[in-house]
Amino acid sequence: MKAKRWDKFATGVLYTIAAFLVLILAFLLIYILVRGLPHISWEFLTQPAKAYQEGGGIGIQLFNSFYLLLITMLISFPISLGSGIYLSEYAKKNWVTDVIRTSVEILSSLPSVVVGLFGFLLFVVQFQYGFSIISGALALTFFNLPLLTRNIEESLNTIHHTQREAGLALGLSRWETVLHVVLPAATPGILSGVIISSGRIFGEAAALIYTAGQSAPALDFTNWNPLSVSSPIGLFRQAETLAVHIWKINSEGTMPDGPAVSAGASAVLILAVLLFNFSARAVGKKLYKKITSA
């Protein structure tokens, strides 16, 4: 009876802590949305920002955030996928793989400011890419690789060894077994990792201040030259993202309606992350059912 009472007490404590954390998260989300939603309009989402006058929007910053996220994932996902497959399916258990896994864990705990300074010294200064989208994407790739690689490896490790044995028994090679049996079964876990890392990238500010820059040049959406600074797909132009824009508004104070723009931009950032997460989860479930015929 004493053990049962302690079990109920411990369970109650855990539920209380969980409820407290959920309430804090809900309060923050509701507070940001209540303050920001009244300021959101079509003009606010599409018009460019204005420095010393009221009525500016976040159109260019919002586009830069999604474009930078796309470029970063195009670079980091194939590398992370290959690394995760190697560590899970091919790497032998020895001191070399132990060092690799330890390095991945250490890199995943680095502050984003350190990654930003590293990207500034290497890509902006040494490689002379300047403050640009490519500098920001490459810096965020180093920021994203450890988390995504670790998640892909763990997702592959959760697949039971009998599925690999079944593929080999059917005459598939080791690589074909990984490609056609293991990866489809691990798709939901891999997509969850992509979702988490994408949310981190979309809301990142510290690393991008030193790499992608703090200005958003006017874009000509009829110019599709990737080397042009006015092209929306340009890789060598400065790209102030939404998170950096929020930081800049609150730190410089050059906007008369800065608090309203900051509140609206914060609400858009929260909504974009939530929408991306929910949409990706729905797509992941459909993709899993289609691949596995479940």
Query: Residue 267 pLDDT more than 70?
Result: yes
Query: 3-state class of 242 per DSSP?
Result: helix
**Residue 169 Cα distances to 58, 164, 165, 177, 271, angstroms:** 56, 9, 6, 10, 47
- Residue 64's SS3 state is helix
CA distance 59 to 228: 19
Q: In this predicted structure, what is the pLDDT of residue 22?
A: 93
Beta-carbon count within 10 A of 208 CB: 32
Please give the pLDDT value at position 138: 92
12 burial type by CB count under 10 A (0-12 exposed, 13-18 middle, 19+ buried):
exposed
Residue 41's pLDDT is what? 86
Q: What pTM does this model have?
A: 0.86
Least confident piece of the model among 141-145, 192-196, 209-213 = 192-196
Residue 279 pLDDT more than 80?
A: no
Structure tokens at 143: 């920021």
pLDDT tens-digit map of 74-101: 999 999 999 889 888 888 888 888 888 8
Would you say residue 292 has pLDDT above 80? no
* pLDDT average, residue stretch 187-209: 83
Mean pLDDT, to the nearest integer, of 198-212? 86
Q: Return the higher-pLDDT residue of 51 and 128.
A: 128
pLDDT in tens, 136-172: 999 999 888 888 888 888 888 888 888 888 888 888 8
When pLDDT is cut at 50, 70 and 90, the band that residue 1 belongs to is low
Give the pLDDT confidence of 173-185 residue by residue, as tens digits: 888 888 888 888 8
Residue 291 binned pLDDT confidence (cut-offs 50, 70, 90):
low
Instruction: Give me the pLDDT at residue 104, please.
Output: 81
Return d(Cα 92, Cα 98) in angstroms, integer: 10
The alpha carbons of the chain give a radius of gyration, in whole angstroms, of 23
Residue 34, both tokens = 């209540």
Q: Residue holding tokens 């955030």?
A: 65
The reported pLDDT for the residue numbered 293 is 60
Other beta carbons less than 10 A from residue 57's beta carbon: 21
Q: What integer pLDDT is reported at residue 294 of this predicted model?
A: 56
Alpha-carbon distance of 202 to 64, in angstroms, equals: 10
CA dihedral of residues 63, 69, 71, 77 (deg, nearest 10): -160
b or e along 73-87 (b: 16 or more beta carbons within 10 Å of the residue's beta carbon)? bebbbeebbebbbeb
Cα–Cα distance, 71 to 134 (Å, whole number): 8
